[in-house]
A and B are shown apart, each in its own frame.
Chain A
Amino acid sequence: MAKVKVATVWLEACAGCHMSFLDIDERLVDLVDLVDIVYSPIVDGKKIPKATVGVIEGALGNDEELHLAKEMRKQCDIIVAWGDCAVFGGINCMRNFTDRRQALKEAYVDSPSTVNPGEVIPHEDIPHLLPQAIPVDHEVKVDVYVPGCPPDADTILWVFQELLEGRVPTVPSEMMRYD
């Protein structure tokens, strides 16, 4: 049987959903016999290739993340949103109630340990912030939602198993967690 190609990406997030995925522990050994991870922070691809399943962790908070989410949608048949940040925007949305420029000034000029007499704010060769941090499905269609901060490893594995069986699952409420 041909292996199912899987791409994963982390956008505006903490990597915790990918860590929860690795928390399937020994079961990872069996899983890699069934799936081919073609793009992911844990492997070395630099461009997103065609894949059956595309997993997105994280909200959309800057222009580069928005671009990556659109690339994932274009290249993958099924998009899975992992975790509260991708599903709802998560903790990143706390910045939506504040002013971007003020946040930058506070971090790079006003903080008590910063020594920055020229008041330099980082801007070269780095992505620019979107006005607000938003959930993935505000910009691209999502097929499977897996909420949780992070989702349980068992839930993440169950979603993969369903997808491998050819089903597009809806996570039952008893497998969800919201903290």
Chain B
Amino acid sequence: MATVRKIEINPITRIEGHGKITVHLDEKGGVNEARFHVTQFRGFEHFCKGRDFREMPVITPRICGICPVSHHLASAKACDALLGVEITPTAHKLRELMHAGQFVQSHALSFFHLSSPDLLFGFDADPAVRNVVGVIRKYPDLAVKGVLLRKFGQEIIQVLGGKKVHPWHSIPGGVNRSLKAQEVDAIKAQVPQMKAAVKDAIALVKGYLEENAEKAATFATLETAYMGLVQDGFLEIYDGDIRLKGPRGRIIDEFPDWAYLDFIGEHVEPWSYLKFPFYKPMGFPHGSYRVGPLGRVNACDDIATPEASAELAHFREGAEDGLVHKTLYYHYARLIETLYGVERIEELMEDPDVMGSDLRVTSTELYPEGIGVIEAPRGTLIHHYQVDENGVLTGVNLIVATGHNNHAMNRGVDMVARENIHGGEPSEGILNSMEHVIRCYDPCLSCSTHAVGRMPLHLEIFGADGSLKREVKN
């Protein structure tokens, strides 16, 4: 049946960036299709051309204020490749430390500040209280734990990079400072409290998922492939091979990051500024996969730190083929990774290399292409630069984490719309459920709109005549 009406949810709130959802309705008020739109475009790939490549670790963090460290590090790795250098153990570990700090702060923000209100108050609770302020009022202890966990991660970034948002620490070939003994002690002293805070959040999520097992089983659940970096099969966030695991648990492919163009393509739809990456040998949309916390914990064999590894074993209990396809489990996976982040920080604080003085490797070489890949909190992030003989950029290609989940987010929104909208005006709670599909993926729409603008989130529900019924956008 033809689309006669569109409902638009605009803006999608409590996500990072700008997006909307549209629901296309037929004559009887049934759902033809629901779409998740990214509505901003900023043009980094274009306007960075002509700049000196050494500026990129400072320019590209401005793509995203939530995960600036991701761009800072992916960019620095691409610059290392241009110089053809292997950085020192001290530089490697300090970059990893900053990245672990970012995982803790970004995941804490996603869970405590943005998503927990839906779990604590319910998807159909009063929108006026269903937010972080409501959590502060009703659950002050939990809220303060979330605030302090985020602060812990942000302070590690600040110690190394001078400030919490848009730090400057990594440079082509290394880093510009290491840690002092008292800084190591100050970080170390906070670890027990932070571990306790993450474990409280894990208990909360587990309780929620058990109490709402039926909802969790069906809510936007998708059987997909999963992507993430691995190092000897272990979950990895800074440096490793890219692994793709199929929906039945078979490893489909594992390839070095510099070979990404042979394996990853990007599809374009006319209604979103965010492209749709896919596994090239399988084509679009069949080759779509998911990334981020659920992608990584599904793609890896295990996690290298003991407490996160034990939690992962619990996460996988009863999961067929060792994979969890339930979208609400993104929250649980995110907190397992937060625990990994805190444990990794603890390990690094015991390593004398983080106080080392061998910070930077110089080079007289300059290669024409450099590729840097890391796991951003939201998934695999790729920076690819081309330069001329003077180091002036002639080509920039960025594939951002959120993009990989674009197809899955669209399918999830479509599923929830079809299940819940059957004529008549959908309730605010149903529309919020559709927004929560997006929140599960914790999309970074600033990153997604890096291309040339901002990426608003925009949801429209259309009627059978193509008229707009309702729109949700941020």
A12-36, CB < 8 A from B? 12-20, 22-23, 25-26, 28-29, 32
Whether B268 and A122, one on each chain, are in contact in the complex, defined by CB atoms closer than 8 angstroms, is yes
Whether B269 and A122, one on each chain, are in contact in the complex, defined by CB atoms closer than 8 angstroms, is yes
Tell me which of A23, A44, A111 contacts B127 (CB under 8 A): A44
* Nearest A residue (CB) for B51: A94
B113 to chain A, nearest CB (A): 7
- A37 in contact (CB, < 8 A): yes
Whether B65 and A95, one on each chain, are in contact in the complex, defined by CB atoms closer than 8 angstroms, is no
Whether A114 and B265, one on each chain, are in contact in the complex, defined by CB atoms closer than 8 angstroms, is yes
CA distance A29 to B261 in the complex (A): 47
Whether A42 and B68, one on each chain, are in contact in the complex, defined by CB atoms closer than 8 angstroms, is no
A137-162, CB < 8 A from B? 149-150, 152-153
B459 to chain A, nearest CB (A): 10
In the complex, chain B residues whose CB is within 8 Å of the CB of A1: none
Instruction: Report if A113-B264 is in contact (Cβ < 8 Å); known contacts: A23-B154, A25-B151, A125-B460.
Output: yes
B104-150, CB < 8 A from A? 109, 113-114, 127-128, 130-133, 136-137, 140, 143-144, 147-148, 150
- The segment from B201-209, B354-362, B448-456 that touches chain A is B448-456
B50 to chain A, nearest CB (A): 9
In the complex, chain A residues whose CB is within 8 Å of the CB of B151: 23, 25-26
Tell me which of A23, A44, A58 contacts B14 (CB under 8 A): A44
The contact string, 1 if C-beta is below 8 Å from chain B, for chain A 80-95, is 0000000000111011
Whether B136 and A29, one on each chain, are in contact in the complex, defined by CB atoms closer than 8 angstroms, is yes
Central interface residue in A32, A111, A123, by most chain B CB within 10 Å:
A111
- The segment from B25-33, B35-43, B234-242 that touches chain A is B35-43
Instruction: Report if A115-B64 is in contact (Cβ < 8 Å); known contacts: A15-B16, A15-B446, A62-B453.
Output: no
B416 to chain A, nearest CB (A): 17
CA distance A10 to B16 in the complex (A): 10
In the complex, chain A residues whose CB is within 8 Å of the CB of B113: 22, 42
* Category for how many chain A residues contact B: 35 or more
In the complex, chain A residues whose CB is within 8 Å of the CB of B277: 113
Whether B148 and A25, one on each chain, are in contact in the complex, defined by CB atoms closer than 8 angstroms, is yes
Whether A92 and B42, one on each chain, are in contact in the complex, defined by CB atoms closer than 8 angstroms, is yes
Whether A107 and B136, one on each chain, are in contact in the complex, defined by CB atoms closer than 8 angstroms, is no
- B312 in contact (CB, < 8 A): no
In the complex, chain B residues whose CB is within 8 Å of the CB of A43: 13-14, 127, 131-133
CA distance A122 to B42 in the complex (A): 13
Whether A18 and B41, one on each chain, are in contact in the complex, defined by CB atoms closer than 8 angstroms, is no
* Nearest B residue (CB) for A36: B133
Instruction: Report if A14-B65 is in contact (Cβ < 8 Å); known contacts: A42-B113, A45-B127.
Output: yes
Central interface residue in A32, A62, A102, by most chain B CB within 10 Å:
A62
- B173 in contact (CB, < 8 A): no
Instruction: Report if A150-B166 is in contact (Cβ < 8 Å); known contacts: A22-B109, A46-B472.
Output: yes
In the complex, chain B residues whose CB is within 8 Å of the CB of A95: 42-43, 46-47, 452
A104-135, CB < 8 A from B? 104, 106-109, 111-116, 120-127, 129
Whether A103 and B43, one on each chain, are in contact in the complex, defined by CB atoms closer than 8 angstroms, is yes
In the complex, chain B residues whose CB is within 8 Å of the CB of A11: 454
In the complex, chain B residues whose CB is within 8 Å of the CB of A25: 147-148, 150-151
CA distance A43 to B136 in the complex (A): 13
- B341 in contact (CB, < 8 A): no
B221 to chain A, nearest CB (A): 25
CA distance A19 to B451 in the complex (A): 22
In the complex, chain B residues whose CB is within 8 Å of the CB of A91: 59, 62
- B384 in contact (CB, < 8 A): yes
Whether B42 and A115, one on each chain, are in contact in the complex, defined by CB atoms closer than 8 angstroms, is no
B299-348, CB < 8 A from A? none
- B406 in contact (CB, < 8 A): no
A22 to chain B, nearest CB (A): 7
- A173 in contact (CB, < 8 A): no
CA distance A28 to B137 in the complex (A): 11
A-B pairs with lowest CB-CB distance, top 4: A16-B65, A103-B46, A44-B127, A14-B65
Q: What are some 5 contacts across the A-B interface (CB < 8 A)?
A: A10-B18, A14-B446, A25-B151, A90-B62, A120-B270
Residues of A within 8 A of B (CB): 10-20, 22-23, 25-26, 28-29, 32, 37, 41-46, 58, 61-62, 64-65, 90-92, 94-95, 97-98, 100, 102-104, 106-109, 111-116, 120-127, 129, 149-150, 152-153, 179
